[in-house]
Amino acid sequence: MNYSKENLWQIEEVGFDSRYLGKTESIMALGNGYLGSRSATEERYTNERRDTFIAGTFNKFDENEVSELPNIPDVWWMDFIINGENFSLEKGKVANYSKRLNLKTGELIREFEWATGEIKLQFTFRRFVSKARRHYLSSYVEIKNLTSQSMAIQIRSGVDGQVTNSGSQHFNEGQKGLVDGEFMQMMPQTMESQIDFVFTVTHKLQVENLKERIEMGRRQIFMNYFFDLPANESAEIEKRMSIYTSIDNDLSIHEVEAMRQVAISEMKEVAELSFEQLLEESANEWAKIWAKHPILIESESFEDQLAIHFAKYHLHIMTPAHDERMNIGAKGLSGEGYKGHTFWDTEIFMLPYFNFTHPEIAKSLVTYRYLGLDGAHKKAEENGYEGAQYPWEAANPADGEVTPVWGAADIVTGQSTKIWSGFIEQHITSDVAFGVKQYIDVTGDQEFAEGKAYEILFDTAKFWGSRLEYNIEKDRYEINDVIGPDEYKEHVNNNAYTNYTAHWNVRYALNLAKELKETNPELFEKLNQKLALDRVLEELAEKVEKILLPQPTEEGIIPQDDSYLGKKILDLAKYKKMDGVDGLFHDYNLEQVNDMQITKQADVLLLLYLFEELFAHELKLKNFDYYEPKTTHDSSLSLSTHAILAADLGKLEESYEFFKRARAIDMGAYMKSSDDGIHAASLGGIWQMTVFGYGGVRMINGQLRIEPHLPRAWSHLTYGFDYQGESITVTVTKDRVELSKEDNGRAITFLSNGQQYSLQNTLHLS
């Protein structure tokens, strides 16, 4: 990838190498939260991954698979046949190749010269997914004949429904046809969830003596265009597309025929607008996002600033802000990885960005968890518990658990490995509670708190109450047979992260109950009726003091779980140097890794970061130094946590090394990293490292904290955030910190280095 300090809004690939197709498809993905699309090229390559998704349109291929976001029929595809020869960049000579994404406007541009035999052409491709019209997509191609001879051009372009999710086909073929002689339509339906889709495609060509012919193949409808391109002349082709579905919440009627009419009306409506105008309309919507709390970094490394633009761009294209029945997938809408499912990644890694900068989007994300209570009850019941046990992986909110049961091959046995996360990675429930609590603390959204958040907080505590196991011998409550954040350790007892967060969840519910009984007894009684709180809280009160909270050893190390510290230690240097994330598993299987002090990602350290108030500085330092060398960072959720914790601990230079590695997860040179999609949590992590890590912002126990500290490479940082309805801007240089907000008569209070401040307009911290 090529990045330039001349353009901090641009992700660019210079020179074509088909091995990077997967990477550029992901990191240059387009979208608007409603739909997301990998930036696969118009022409096809064998190692491409041609995916487009519409948020929330989950479908289950068969009984043995789990619901996933279906890869919808492809609208970007265009074949170019020049003098009878199929155009492909694997053939002939390619010069001045550039594929680049404008993060500011959401426009993807690809241009190059291509020569083979007598053919020499200049191609320019431009496309965008409209941020102004969620259903609308546009593509533009200019072909210039660079020779002194006319060339015969054939273009095939339409909708191709032969694509699948790695072989699983979620759609029936559906009707297709040409309307009014110009609008191709295809109307497939998902097989199990029965969601209707309407694809509409039309073309505008600026060429002389055009011949055209409609064609239909199996699951395909497309136009064939034939024309001669005279010497030194150019042809322009515009492709306009839209996609509607029967679950769209901006449609009042979801009948297929009605949707077809809506789509055609829209196409007719935009017919008078040029590609440029439609792009501008979309870019104007992007401008509103960029205007909100821009982050300015002055760094020795310009990629730091670029990374912030990159992260925010992706956080917005992946997030279905328009519909609270949907949440963010672990790969956003940029790949088949994790099937579009939502994990704890949302609450711990992406939600903070939205809490602090787009509270209305954050509200939609936490509302999804409220809608997910039914699914969480279902899961709890299936597992013999009560209350709300959130699914490790979530699709439609009411579905409950959708984690697949079987994963990759075990290199020793040659058999598929069972994925236990759906059964025993239980910290997700306290993560959701934590996320909801952060949301109400940061936004001060009392309506959501009373209407939804408290219920979630009680219901999750109720789950933990039923989940705790009494150890009669030791007279304590344990949480055994779990997976903590470190997924290399399956079936462990008393994972510190799990136990501490469960304890927090229970303790918080008890405090909340006490408070509500005094301040809002009516609400408490309502929730009591619904959740049997009187009984539940009594039980919780009995148990809470006896929940095992793993205590530090003599050396000050909090054991990750009951058995971790007794396991043998492997030198990980070899694996830490490897590209990719599963190098370790080329030598060991999961069972073997389970028996060593190897940690996939921040586990104890995540606890120390999220619940900093519970642990002393010295203890954090010791644990950081103990666990980090044993951590492979094989999860993209690991590095940003380490960067922030290191910054908190004053290890700023070490922190910045983690920062650089963390922002390289998707943007870096390793060509395979993003094939399955971008790493949503890592992108949230980039924002967190900046605003939480160096900006020093944190929401702790309902109290805002601001303690900026820049790494040596940074000379300046400006960031902003929303806090309880106020908009705050912070400027940090080596020697001063300036905070400002509109002087509207209201003040906000915050802590900084143990001191309480009140910000009404402008304030300097020394």
Note whether 244 and 254 are within 8 A (CB). Answer: no
What residue has token string 């599963």?
A: 582
Q: Is 555 exposed, middle or buried (0-12, 13-18, 19+ CB in 10 A)?
A: exposed
Closest approach of a copy of itself to the CB of residue 638, in Å:
24
Closer of 95 and 409 to a copy of itself (Cβ): 409
Closer of 88 and 594 to a copy of itself (Cβ): 88
Select which of 68, 324, 425, 487 is catalytic: 487
Closer of 16 and 721 to a copy of itself (Cβ): 16
Closest approach of a copy of itself to the CB of residue 411, in Å:
6
φ, ψ of residue 664 in degrees (nearest 5): -85, -5
**Residue 751 contacts by C-beta under 8 Å, 6 or more apart in sequence?**
703, 704, 705, 706, 757
Closest approach of a copy of itself to the CB of residue 28, in Å:
20
Closer of 173 and 657 to a copy of itself (Cβ): 173
Closest approach of a copy of itself to the CB of residue 26, in Å:
17
Closest approach of a copy of itself to the CB of residue 177, in Å:
4
Closest approach of a copy of itself to the CB of residue 189, in Å:
10
DSSP assignment string, 680-693: HHHHHHHHHIIIII
Alpha carbons 406 and 414: distance in angstroms, whole number? 13
694 in the Ramachandran plot: left (φ > 0), alpha (ψ -120 to 50) or beta? alpha
- Give me 542's structure tokens: 């009995």
Closest approach of a copy of itself to the CB of residue 204, in Å:
18
Q: Which residues lie near a copy of itself (CB under 8 A)?
A: 18-19, 44-47, 61-62, 64-65, 84-86, 88, 90-91, 161-169, 172-173, 175-179, 181, 184, 191, 213-219, 221, 408-409, 411, 413-416, 586
Strands 476-478, 211-217: parallel, antiparallel or unpaired by DSSP?
A: unpaired
Question: E strands within 436-475?
Answer: 469-471
Nearest CA to 442 among 354, 321, 355? 355
Closer of 4 and 86 to a copy of itself (Cβ): 86
Cβ-count burial 139-176 (b if 16+ within 10 Å, e if not): bbbbbbbeeeeebebbbbbbbbbebbbeebbbbebbeb
Closer of 148 and 209 to a copy of itself (Cβ): 209
Closest approach of a copy of itself to the CB of residue 584, in Å:
13
User: Any bridge partners for residue 706, and if so which?
Assistant: 697
Closest approach of a copy of itself to the CB of residue 593, in Å:
16
Alpha carbons 556 and 551: distance in angstroms, whole number? 8
Closest approach of a copy of itself to the CB of residue 166, in Å:
4
Strand order through the sheet with 52-54? 30-31, 35-37, 52-54
Note whether 156 and 221 are within 8 A (CB). Answer: no
What residue has token string 């003599």?
A: 554
What residue has token string 């372009």?
A: 157
**Known catalytic residue: 487?**
yes
Closer of 16 and 370 to a copy of itself (Cβ): 16
Angle at CA 326, nearest 5°, toward 324 and 332? 130
In this structure, the number of other CB atoms found within 10 A of the CB of residue 50 comes to 20
Note whether 460 and 433 are within 8 A (CB). Answer: yes
Q: Which amino acid is at 692?
A: F
Alpha carbons 540 and 523: distance in angstroms, whole number? 20
Closer of 672 and 734 to a copy of itself (Cβ): 672
- Give me 731's structure tokens: 């400027």
DSSP assignment string, 614-672: GS-HHHHHHHHHHHGGGB---STTSHHHHHHHHHHTT-HHHHHHHHHHHHHHHHSS-TT
Q: Which amino acid is at 560?
A: Q
Closer of 43 and 481 to a copy of itself (Cβ): 43
Nearest CA to 186 among 168, 160, 212? 160
Closer of 230 and 407 to a copy of itself (Cβ): 407
Closest approach of a copy of itself to the CB of residue 165, in Å:
8
Alpha carbons 124 and 217: distance in angstroms, whole number? 28
Please give the C-alpha separations between residue 312 and each of 104, 361, 492, 494, in angstroms, as whole numbers: 10, 13, 37, 36
Q: Is 648 exposed, middle or buried (0-12, 13-18, 19+ CB in 10 A)?
A: buried
**Residue 22 contacts by C-beta under 8 Å, 6 or more apart in sequence?**
47, 48, 49, 671, 672, 674, 675
What residue has token string 């934590």?
A: 434
Closer of 46 and 551 to a copy of itself (Cβ): 46
Closest approach of a copy of itself to the CB of residue 677, in Å:
14
- Give me 451's structure tokens: 């209407």
Closer of 224 and 731 to a copy of itself (Cβ): 224
Residue 398 is classified by DSSP as G
Closest approach of a copy of itself to the CB of residue 84, in Å:
8
Closer of 534 and 591 to a copy of itself (Cβ): 591
Half-sphere CA count of 49, side-chain side, radius 13 A: 28
Residue 695 is classified by DSSP as S
Active site residues per annotation: 487
